[in-house]
Amino acid sequence: MLQKKLVITLTTAQGSRQYTLGQLARYLLALFLVMSICSFFVSNLLLVKTTDDLDDLEQGIDTLTSQYELTLGTQALQKGQLNQLSSTLQDLTLERDKLQEENLRIGELNETLDASLYGLEDLLGLPQSDEMTSNRADELTVLASQRLYFLSNLPNGLPIQGIRVSDRFGMRMHPVHKKRVRHNGLDFKANTGTPIYATADGVVEYSGYHKKSGFGNLIILQHGLGFKTYYAHMSKLKVKSGAFVSKGQLIGLSGNTGISTGPHLHYEVRHLFTPIDPEPFVAWNISNFDSLFSNVKGVKWASLRKMYPLNQALQTAQQ
């Protein structure tokens, strides 16, 4: 009986050899081959699955990386926005503080301005307003400017400081000629060298020694609206004929030149060559502004009112 044998022939360069396997060996070889084939296919399947899993994992990693980078970018953007917002809030806080300080300063300025305007009413000799409105402030400004214009151009105030009046305007016994004559000005007793000042803006009509009048060293100033002022018996002259002078400017020093019994200043105010009592002009200021036009009778003030209404602002304010 022929036995079933498995013959395996191996051929090499040296020749061929045959090996004979029994039935059990055949079974084992077959089992090994089957297991090898199964292992191969299972390994391939696992490799494919593992490869797919790795691809999915790489895609997941790429997705996570992109999301992480996006998150970082978003955080950086948010951080920049927060920093900008913080800076803006700081600027707004500073601006708010500045505005508060400015409001306080404006409030203080308004209080100061109101106080100044009420003080201006007192200075102008006007009754105090119940409320300081912008219209009232404008009226006061116009009125003050109007009065200052006239006080700059018409004689007012003292031509010499701290000196007593030794002789006034009007008829008197002349101290040298010993006869009753009209005295056309005010005499201010003063030591030689006392400063003398212009009582209004003007131009020097005459500056020199005036022998004919007995005034000695004399300065004549021309002012607005036909007014002139005379300063006589001076020891020194500080301005020359033709020069422009402003109110309060030093024009000379007191003395005893000409026909004089002692050092003093003879001061006159004239309108169109007519001497006028200087005392109302000496006492005239911004507070008693209207007093000059009622106290000085030798000037036709009515025509001046028609040309430039003196009380226009005051009349408007009282309506």
**Rg over CA atoms, the chain:** 59
- What would the DSSP string read from start to end of 193-210? T-EEE-SSSEEEEEEEEE
- Cα end-to-end distance, the chain, whole Å: 158
> To the nearest 10°, the Cα dihedral for 312, 314, 317, 318?
-110
pLDDT confidence of residue 207: 97
pLDDT confidence of residue 90: 73
Per-residue pLDDT for the chain (319 aa), expressed as one digit of tens each?
445 565 667 676 677 776 665 666 666 767 777 787 877 777 777 777 777 777 777 787 878 777 777 777 777 777 777 777 667 767 767 777 776 666 555 555 445 544 565 566 666 666 666 666 677 677 777 777 888 888 899 999 999 986 788 888 877 666 655 667 788 999 999 999 999 999 999 999 999 999 888 999 999 999 999 999 999 999 999 999 999 999 999 999 999 999 888 899 999 999 998 999 999 999 998 888 888 988 998 898 888 767 665 555 434 434 4
- Which tokens go with 202? 């003007």
- What would the DSSP string read from start to end of the chain? -----EEEEEEETTEEEEEEE-HHHHHHHHHHHHHHHHHHHHHHHHHHHHHHHHHHHHHHHHHHHHHHHHHHHHHHHHHHHHHHHHHHHHHHHHHHHHHHHHHHHHHHHHHHHHHHHHHHHHHTT-PPPSS--HHHHHHHHHHHHHHHHHHHHS--S-SSSS--EEE-SEEEE-TTT-SEEEE-SEEEE--TT-EEE-SSSEEEEEEEEETTTT-EEEEEEE-GGGEEEEEEEEEEE-S-TT-EE-TT-EEEEEB--SS-SSSEEEEEEEETTEEE-SHHHHH--STTTTHHHHH--SS-HHHHHHHS-TTHHHHHHH-
In DSSP terms, which residues pair with 7 in a beta bridge? 20
231 and 202 Cβ atoms separated by less than 8 Å: no
